[in-house]
Amino acid sequence: MRIFALALLLAAFDPPSAAVAQEFNLVIRDHKFEPAEIRVPARKRVSIYVSNEDATPEEFDSTALKVEKVIPGKSKGLVRIGPLEPGRYEFIGEFHADTAKGIVIAE
């Protein structure tokens, strides 16, 4: 029982070294995402490095991706997503939702 609990604990907190997360880059410039479309592998953990080149903060927001992350002006943020079922997942920059729009396509 104790060994089982320990194994569960290790499984929960062991860094995901076996399944190395794929990395993608995204830039926020003039309140727009570049690129506005990212194709990622389905059913895998994926890391997106978001670089905010604007002077103002932005919030990477997506209920579909379960992400809500503020990226301060002139700085970078790491967004971890997945595993995703194949499909289209929209995200926005909530502070400038009229221009900052993007989509993650899992396939």
Partner 1 sequence: MLGALVIVFREVLEAGLIIGIVLAATRGVPDRAAWVTLGVGLGALGAGIIALFAETISGAFEGAGQELLNAGVLAAAVVMLMWHNAWMARHGREMVAEMTTVGEAVTAGRRPMTALAVVVGLAVLREGSEVVLFLYGVVATGTSASSLFVGSVLGLAAGAGVTVLTYYGLLSIPARHIFIVTTVLIALLAAGMAAQAVQFLDAAGMIDVLGNRLWDTSGWLPQEGIVGRLLHTLVGYTDRPTELQLIAYLVTLAIMAALTWFAAPARSARAAA
Examine residue 86 and tell whether it contacts partner 1 (CB under 8 A).
no
Asked whether the beta carbons of 29 and 54 are under 8 A apart, the reply is yes
Looking at 2, 3, 4, 98, which residue binds partner 1 (CB under 8 A)? Answer: 98
Is 102 one of the binding residues for partner 1 (CB under 8 A)? no
Contact call for residues 81 and 51 (beta carbons, < 8 A): no
Binding mask 3-42 for partner 1 (x = CB under 8 A): --------xxxxxx--x-----------------------
Q: Helices in 1-107 by DSSP H: which ranges?
A: 2-13
DSSP state of 54: S
Residue 21 per-residue DSSP state: P
Residues that bind partner 1 (CB under 8 A): 11-16, 19, 45, 55-59, 63-64, 66-67, 69-73, 75-80, 82-85, 94-95, 97-98
